[in-house]
Chain A
């Protein structure tokens, strides 16, 4: 086989590189190990940050399809289920699993976009089945529709850990906790907020000590750590979980780059060993280029930009056409993607390679004004400088602006906001809410991506930003968003709560505290009845039927009196009026009919 450009890896970087080169008239052959094109995009169900030109607000699965279609339209040759196994002196050798056969490939240029692999973590019993890379669980759930367990423990609160936790919840799993060794969640605040408001604990300064189980995971021991990340003795505790997901970082897959003899450097900020390369993604060898996570762990949008830069630069070399305009366009994209606080790591890593990138130059002040009370309006809870602007782009009245740079904090002009909630549906961080106050109550519109959707009139438990229960509410409206699948659910609540409520859940049996087993009366039912004026045991009995079941009150009587005493401030003695009527146990009517005198 002969090709001008050999692309290894069909993820966002490799596909973009192949598209750029093929568009410019270069003959491309792309090789990928996986079952389909798209790399890890095929399991990304969350919406991407960024701007419209780079698929902002689209989900990774959709981006994979778009890129694949472009590859097909450009008639790029590609081989799937095929692994580039080695670069030898005179040819590259690829192995096709389907055909069980190797191919020699003769190429002029090569673009390596081999991505990264998940880092492993060393703790006791860490090889036990049920300990997965977080990405592996994501693959199983989102690509194959399989949830490998019921109760999940996530190790690491970077973006991957936070995203996977959210996606496990979407798939119907329980996330018991996210354990994070440092003193803060490293991922975006908006991702962390989605987790927090669901009530999933993010345990900072904690680590996993051991996986529990013999043949598969049955739980884990976690513990607090000190300033040196050493386990503090005595703080160990067990967590019930059948699946442990490690999201402790990625490392670039450099094996092929090393075989090609390009210079490899060790830069921790970029994920460890990485090929040294210039601004155009060219390595120390003239005809070897790299892009995506292989060139430094980052994310898919920058991987695509790097792919385009590499692809156009290679095409420029081969065709001798000037493509600098396109190359510079993508370089500018990268500058903006890396300008903010989350680009700091990659900026300092690239600095070590002699690539200097600017920072700052965007709005950092938060908006203090939350708009006029009583008006239906959007409330933006986006407090970090992330390169992302779909809210600004979608707003039909131009009420939202980023202050001139995509990394800016969004501000909203409440004179212009018409309450259309399009920004709520678009925001990749699910960080925009709708609020309106009325005389008697308030409503909050919450972006909602769970199944099943609630029905109008359903009573729900209101949850704060930190996932605390703060009261009860009623579903008022459900706006379905069939296209983007971020629905908006309006919940009515007591006035004042609109400032704190950001999530809700449907009450389940599991959270009920039962007092009366016969009549299924809960502690809450009793407290409510007392609150509306049933302050006597006999009244409560008639109102709630508590104590009127088959047990005759043997289980609930004293507990109910205890609650009553506490709520009314009276002693149990004072409220002990009771009239316990026969029969003292249920008995068959015919036993009475057949009764005899004795």
Chain B
């Protein structure tokens, strides 16, 4: 806890950011750290994760617009598919998984 991830902006001439990573969430089962102000997308990118899922044809999918418009960032959150990572806050203990294609209609917790 408390470390600053590599992709975090350390110093900014205009803005001040919360400094600490205080939340733990799980990505593909692996614990990762995040700030309480993060969305799922910003937390994943900060942790160096650029692939949010795959299309049905196996093409890697990242995110594109960051404001909830393009639906490129859909992930499975606590078993529920089609969650927009860019406008959903990350929460302590949350489970995030890469979505394949359109996601299963209902993915029971595995």
Contacts and interface: CB of A to CB of B under 8 A. Distances in A.
A146 B45 contact: yes
Contacts of B70: 117-118, 120, 133
Interface in B33-53: 35, 37-39, 41-42, 45-46, 50-52
A216 B50 contact: yes
Interface stretch (B23-31, B55-63, B101-109): B55-63
Given A127-B59, A130-B50, A172 B11 contact: yes
Nearest to A129: B62
Tell me if A's interface is mostly helix, strand, loop or mixed: loop
Contact of B60 (A35, A128, A133, A142): A128
A139 B13 contact: no
Interface string A57-72: 0010100000000000
Contacts of B52: 129
A97 B45 contact: no
A34 interface: yes
A422 interface: no
A35 B84 CA distance: 12
Given A59-B14, A129-B51, A449-B14, A172 B64 contact: no
Contacts of A147: 7-9
A140 B45 contact: yes
A140 B73 CA distance: 14
A453 B92 CA distance: 37
A97 B88 contact: yes
A287 B46 CA distance: 44
Interface string A2-44: 0000000000000000000000000000000111000010000
B10 interface: yes
B15 A136 contact: no
A35 B38 CA distance: 10
A371 to B, nearest CB: 29
A132 B63 contact: yes
B79 interface: no
B45 A117 contact: no
Nearest to B4: A145
Contacts of A369: none
B65 interface: yes
A405 interface: no
A146 B9 contact: yes
Interface string B66-98: 111110000000000000001111000000000
A129 B42 contact: no
A81 B86 CA distance: 12
B12 interface: yes
Contacts of B89: 35
Contact of A141 (B9, B13, B62, B68): B9
Contacts of B50: 129-130, 148, 215-216
Contacts of A40: 67
A83 B10 CA distance: 34
Contacts of B45: 140, 146, 148
B7 A146 contact: yes
Tell me if B's interface is mostly helix, strand, loop or mixed: loop
Contacts of A33: 68, 87
Interface centre among A130, A136, A141, A215 (most CB of B within 10 A): A136
Contact of B10 (A132, A142, A172, A216): A172
A251 B107 CA distance: 35
Nearest to B72: A127
Contact of A61 (B7, B15, B46, B59): B15
Contacts of A142: 15
B100 to A, nearest CB: 15
A81 B87 contact: yes
Given A35-B39, A449-B13, A216 B65 contact: no
A81 to B, nearest CB: 7
B66 A172 contact: no
Contacts of B38: 144
A275 interface: no
A144 B39 contact: yes
A137 B45 CA distance: 11
B65 A118 contact: yes
A128 B35 CA distance: 26
A147 to B, nearest CB: 5
A450 B69 contact: no
Nearest to A133: B65
A485 interface: yes
A452 to B, nearest CB: 7
Given A35-B39, A146-B42, A136 B12 contact: no
Contact of B14 (A118, A143, A485): A485
A170 B60 contact: no
Contacts of A445: none
A135 B87 contact: no
B65 A451 contact: no
Contacts of A146: 7-9, 42, 45-46
B15 A145 contact: yes
A258 to B, nearest CB: 16
17 contacts: A35-B39, A45-B14, A118-B69, A132-B66, A133-B66, A136-B67, A140-B41, A144-B35, A144-B37, A146-B8, A146-B9, A147-B7, A147-B9, A215-B50, A253-B69, A452-B11, A485-B13
Q: 7 nearest interchain CB pairs?
A: A129-B62, A136-B66, A145-B17, A144-B42, A139-B66, A129-B50, A117-B69
Given A45-B14, A117-B67, A145-B17, 7 more contacts: A34-B67, A129-B52, A135-B67, A136-B64, A139-B66, A144-B38, A216-B62
